[in-house]
Amino acid sequence: MYRKIIVAVAIGNMDKGEIILRKAASLLDEGGEIVLLNVIEDVPTYVAVELPANIVEDAMRDGREKLEGLIARTGIRATVEIRNGPPAKAIISSAENLGADLIIVASHLPDFSNYFIGATADRVVRHAKCSVLVDRQKV
């Protein structure tokens, strides 16, 4: 079905990450590729002065370790990519740079705040140039 799938995983919600990784594996063409992606948001400068200097690097290392653990636990072949920046923009950019034909992202049920701010999944759906599957399965 799909040759290259980006699976965006929030490190704080690895249970959903495992669910969408398994879903990606079921949708992948033989010989296709899954890329597990975690995005570390940039820390605003006014907050960064109060935090340890290496907080972003530590978060990126932690994200890589957790995603590699997810691969080991599931036995599903995938590569890991860690990016930083605004999540939706980083997910879309990764999909475009890697030539993905599907993005899978987990999403919570929309609430009142989505009408003012919008969720990452909303932005990805609106702006991605490839297919997007939004998984709303409860964990």
CATH topology of domain 2-135: Rossmann fold (3.40.50)
Q: Give the model's confidence band at 117: pLDDT under 50 very low, under 70 low, under 90 confident, else very high.
A: very low
Instruction: Determine contact, residues 80/71, Cβ cutoff 8 Å.
Output: yes
User: Is residue 5 over pLDDT 90?
Assistant: yes
Mean pLDDT of 25-32: 97
Please report, rounded to a whole number, the percentage of residues in the chain having pLDDT higher than 70: 86
Instruction: Determine contact, residues 130/102, Cβ cutoff 8 Å.
Output: yes
Instruction: Determine contact, residues 100/4, Cβ cutoff 8 Å.
Output: yes
Show Cβ contacts of residue 61 under 8 Å, excluding neighbours closer than 6 positions. none
- For residue range 46-62, what is the model confidence (pLDDT) as tens digits? 766 677 778 888 899 99
Sign of the four-CA dihedral 11, 129, 119, 110:
negative
Residue ranges per structural domain of the chain: 2-135
Alpha carbon separation from 91 to 48, 50, 87 (Å, rounded)? 23, 28, 6
Convert 66-98 to b/e letters by CB count within 10 Å (16 or more is b): bbeebbeeeebebebbbbbeebbebbbebbeeb
